[in-house]
Amino acid sequence: MSSSHRRFLQLLKNWPVDPSKQGRDLGQHIRDQVKIAFVNGEVFPGNQQKCDLEYLALKRISESQHAKQYPRTLKSSALGLSLEECSSLVSNDFLKTVEEEEQGIFKRTLNKIFKSKDSK
């Protein structure tokens, strides 16, 4: 049973955490779930077969097995954006900017007025 715990720990070494997606990062979520699943250390209290299947699925994702098996011919997305541009679009900073813009000019102006009154 302890081999499952070690396999997950080895898998997590290869799975980076993206600091630009703090609170929404898949790598951090998987780490948290592994901590919960192996709360008693190396002993997994649940269904070992399900644990093995989840490990294999995560391993395929981390190794980009399907991306290697079915390589893309184009280096852009459906929107015509590069990988770097797509990554910046899903960052927390960009999402904050979008939320502020969705408020509309009236709400933004009111927020600025109330913030300036609070700081006095």
Res. 58: pLDDT tops 70 = yes
Q: Which pTM value belongs to this model?
A: 0.61
H-type alpha helices, the chain: 2-13, 26-37, 48-62, 65-69, 83-89, 92-102, 104-119
Per-residue pLDDT at 56:
92
Per-residue pLDDT at 1:
43
CA–CA distances in Å: residue 26 to residues 12, 16, 32, 33, 94: 11, 9, 10, 10, 18
Closest to 95 (Cα-Cα) out of 30, 32, 16, 23: 23
Per-residue pLDDT at 52:
87
Which residue in this structure is represented by tokens 């300036």? Answer: 116
